[in-house]
Structure 1
Amino acid sequence: MTPETDPVDPYVDFLLSLQTLFASVMNFLEGVITPGWRQNQILILIALALIAWGLHRLSDGALQNWVRSREGWSKWQLRIVVQVRRRLGLMWFALMAAGVYLVMQNVTWPSRSYLIGLAATLAIVWVGIAFAVRLVRNRFLRRMVTWALWIYATLYFLNVSDEVSSFLEGVALKIGEFRLSLLDMITALVVIGVLFTFARLVSTTTAASIRRNEDISPSMQVLAVKGVQIFLYGIAFFMGVRAVGIDLTGLAVLSGAIGVGLGFGLQKVVSNLVSGVIILIDKSIKPGDVISLGETFGWIQTLGARYASVVTRDGKEYLIPNEDLITGQVVNWSHSNDFVRLDIYFGTAYSDDPHQVRKLAIEAAKGVDRVLSFKAPVCHIVGFGDSSVDYILRFWIKDPTGGLTNIRGNVYLALWDTFKENDISIPFPQREVRMLEDSQLAVSNRPVGKALD
């Protein structure tokens, strides 16, 4: 902004604008109090507002019943219905006020329906703004843009926008050569909101095109989408600030100091952001991979800027910081391919033929769903235990996302059924206790006659 040369002029303009605005308001109130057509128009508008409120109550229930009778509606259609329900009263008021205005324009002097036409115009504009700002995704920014547009439209149609602009321009913060008025801040919020909405629409379209490209890996798709979003939103912010005439060079030193402070205070956040970029570049982990990190076993659902979402078999969703995925030991079950080998251990009695046991175990594993046949299961003796001959059975699967515990359980059940059909016994530890002849317990348990001998 250009600094003011005369320090008195801004305050004079501010006071004159405030005086003009106050005079306009008092003149309007005086006309409302005085009996006449202006007062009659106010009474007509109050009556229309009450009728619109009643029609809102009646039509809301009918609209709800009509929507419930519909099936297969998408989310955007339901959102439109919700917005219509919230503004049914205003829509009824705008419709009736416009109708009354058109009738009065034809039956009486146009000046006698000016306020009714103004109210109808404002109601229509407010409804249009309410639906248009739904394109702004951020809730806080959407409210700011909505109120700013509503206020601006109201002041514009009341022909007091220049006076209010001068008033807001007079309320300013001035530090050296830097001057920021309240009008600049409001204009910046509106412009940034509009540009952010445009950036979101472009980024959504670009992200959909990137995700449809099968030549790009999932991790690179996430990285490309995040990069496009950061670029578009950054450009939108700086364009919005520059569009209202705010010079950012004066804030360079302050922003540098703030950046240093944030660097120390947000080390973990920055570390997670950088780790997320590294993960996306080296493709070590990508959406859909099955990983194990400590006691957490699940598959990657999404890769965010700060954390990765891991969903387990029991439906729990863990948000694991990206830094842990870089510095910790992560088991990626599907990094290079989806093949996973599983091992289970079992034992049989010494009286059973180990050659037959190995053959039956392999056949049992082959008959289980999800066990790969072209990577044939194998069975080996791993030791002679105290009560059994110990074996290991190894087999391969291709879908670790389907779970590991359940497939192990199915193979164990198949072994149980096969061994039971072929009289193969699965022993359990047995202990035999023997008492020494001269021990105290043995002497105490002898018959009385033998104890005296």
Structure 2
Amino acid sequence: METDPTPVLEQLIALAEPLRDLLARLTRPGWGQYQLGFILGLALLVQVLARILHTPLHDWLRARQGWPMWRLRTGLVLLKRLRLILFVALSWVLVWAIRELTWDSRAYFLSIAATLATAWLGVGLAARLVVTPALRRLVTWALWAFVTLYILGLSDEAAAVLDNIGLTLGQGRISALLLLKAAVVTGILFTLARLVARNSARRIRADETISPSMRVLIVKVMQIALYAAAIFIGLKTVGVDLTGLAVLSGAIGVGLGFGLQKVVSNLVSGVIILLDKSIKPGDVISLGDTFGWINSLGARYVSVVTRDGKEFLIPNEDLITSQVVNWSHSNEFVRLDIHFGTSYGDDPHKVRKIAVAAAQSVGRVLADRPPVCHIVGFGDSSVDYILRFWITDPTEGLTNVRGAVFLALWDAFRENGISIPFPQREVRLLDHAPGGAE
């Protein structure tokens, strides 16, 4: 640790001198004490008003059911800061009144308190843009401390104290001021990157001229680029030397390459899937025993939702190396086949017409691609047929539409006297075995 306690103590003493002078002026008999009393009175009044107004305002917000979610969240955020909002409003009113009735100097400490409260309120509201709770708290406290010292005119002295606390690593030096600047700047840049990425992603997903897979790829590449740029720019802004990270990142990359082969393979496979557009969100696929539609494309896996509500997370590598049936790859037309048989006593020409009409009676069967029925063989006990028909909504299920066509066939055959044979066996009991054996 490269920290000499003597300069740090001297700087702390120098930092405390203006605060001590400010406190002495504030407690000096006269308008200084009056302003201190005004500040304490405002704090007490704000506490009472907040208790009175909180419940009615909360009930009023709960009654706004038709409002958008962002507006309700904004109302809750402002309600949590009701005391500070009231203090800011009343303190500035009091500052204006004193300046109008007397002199500006008699509202000096009140204006400082009002300015501090306003800055704290602005920092608290702006910090809501930071999603990560820990990072949000860090950015909030750091900005609160900075605006307080800045308004009091102590920012240079505080920066000198923090800069004198640090340690040396090789040719570089890391100070507390540097770490604080890096955290605040990176947090702000991360927030800006998140806002840009979210708004851009919304516009890209709404662009129908781009294929779904390319939308996902563009959004992911844009998010990675923005967040990486936020980290890089944040560290460079505060003066961190990034040349040493090149060797370290190379060594880490070699280690990850051996230890995370499957993970890297899935990541690369995900990029290949997005580039070749073999599958995209909304496609109906079957892989092994899994049949469903693609819900989302992730960096490591693909989410497939089945008809029974199960969600399978299939690694991207399996979709590259295994045989995948994509029912809606180039178009949404899907042909289904149904096999059935009738007895030899039924006219096959009549059977074919009845089967086609029965399939056409099912709502999901396409009329512009009419069903067809063909004889495929003469079995042991039946004439075998195949009925083929087309649908365009495989996401609605295949088993249910097959079942509907089977049921329509059953009803049509019963109405027209067409029989569906089934295997029959005849058992005979002999009185004695052949050859006279008993």
Q: Aligned residue for 2:386? A: 392
1:350-361 to structure 2, matched below 5 A, reads 350-361=344-355
Offset of residue 337 of structure 1: 1.5
Contact 2:2 2:168 in 1 (8 A): no
Q: Aligned residue for 1:100? A: 94
Offset of residue 342 of structure 1: 1.0
Alpha carbons of structure 1 residues 421 and 190: separation in structure 2 relative to 1, 3 Å: same
Distance 1:249 1:237 in 2: 14
Alignment counterpart, residue 409 of structure 1, candidates 389, 398, 403: 403
Alignment counterpart, residue 265 of structure 2, candidates 243, 268, 271: 271
Q: Aligned residue for 1:449? A: none
Alignment counterpart, residue 56 of structure 1, candidates 50, 53, 70: 50
Q: Aligned residue for 2:239? A: 245
Q: Aligned residue for 1:442? A: none
Q: Aligned residue for 1:146? A: 140
1:256-405 to structure 2, matched below 5 A, reads 256-385=250-379, 388-405=382-399
Structure 1 position 198 matched with structure 2 position 192:
yes
Distance 2:186 2:2 in 1: 32
SS of alignment partner, residue 286 of structure 2 = strand
Stretch moving more, 103-112 or 369-378? 103-112
Offset of residue 374 of structure 1: 3.1
Contact 2:139 2:183 in 1 (8 A): yes
Identity of aligned residues (%): 59
Distance 1:27 1:260 in 2: 59
Stretch moving more, 308-317 or 145-154? 308-317
Contact 1:358 1:380 in 2 (8 A): yes
Contact 2:213 2:280 in 1 (8 A): yes
Structure 1 position 13 matched with structure 2 position 7:
yes
Offset of residue 127 of structure 1: 1.7
Distance 1:324 1:131 in 2: 46
Alpha carbons of structure 1 residues 26 and 262: separation in structure 2 relative to 1, 3 Å: farther
Structure 1 position 120 matched with structure 2 position 114:
yes
Distance 1:65 1:9 in 2: 55
Q: Alignment length, in residue pairs?
A: 433
Q: Deviations over 1:297-338 (max 9, x none)?
A: 222232222222323333443333222221222211111221
Alignment counterpart, residue 59 of structure 2, candidates 65, 73, 93: 65
Q: Deviations over 1:72-128 (max 9, x none)?
A: 432322221121122112111221222233334445665554443322222211222
Alpha carbons of structure 1 residues 59 and 9: separation in structure 2 relative to 1, 3 Å: closer
Structure 1 position 156 matched with structure 2 position 146:
no
SS of alignment partner, residue 234 of structure 1 = helix
Contact 2:217 2:271 in 1 (8 A): yes
Q: Please report the TM-score for the alignment, with normalisation by the length of structure 2.
A: 0.87
Contact 2:296 2:303 in 1 (8 A): yes
Q: Deviations over 1:32-65 (max 9, x none)?
A: 8888765654554344334323333333333333
Q: Deviations over 1:350-395 (max 9, x none)?
A: 4333332222111111121121233332223445556544432221
Offset of residue 418 of structure 1: 0.8
Distance 2:275 2:156 in 1: 53
Q: Please report the TM-score for the alignment, with normalisation by the length of structure 1.
A: 0.85
Structure 1 position 219 matched with structure 2 position 206:
no
Any unmatched runs of 5+ in structure 1? 1-6, 440-453
Q: What letter matches 2:46 in structure 1?
A: A
Q: What letter matches 2:370 in structure 1?
A: A
Root-mean-square deviation over aligned CA pairs: 3.0
Q: Aligned residue for 1:4? A: none
Q: What letter matches 2:186 in structure 1?
A: I
Distance 1:116 1:70 in 2: 37
Q: What letter matches 2:224 in structure 1?
A: I
Offset of residue 281 of structure 1: 0.9
